[in-house]
Amino acid sequence: MSIATLLPSNHIFLDMESTNKEAYIQSVLEREQHSTTGIGNNIAIPHGKSEAVIEPSIVFARLKQPIDWQSLDEEPVSVVILLAIPESQKGDTHLRILSEIAMKLMDDEITAQLKTETNKEQIAKLLSE
């Protein structure tokens, strides 16, 4: 299972209107109560594991206006990479996907491109190759 498979272009939203993070599902909100998923550099990786999720998937959203996410660096978030994981796959699948994305985000060039790229297929490619 690759990130390219989990992140089709219809899961990528550019200039998304949002005023807060409360629009996310209950499992993600519960996870957020334990510690922030705002990793810094204007990026958050909220994730939740739920029986309501049938197949693992990723949703990418770049917000039109950054929002407060209680991030580790105390900066607002403009890029959100949401992971949806079935409860039955909460171990290895969840950690593998999170690890792959975190490795990509260590590259400053990729991070900068995620903040400005307008081609959805290119965004998916940046996170999957």
Q: Which residues of 113-123 are buried (b: 16+ CB within 10 A; e: fewer)?
A: ebeebeebeeb
11 is catalytic: no
Which of the residues are catalytic? 47
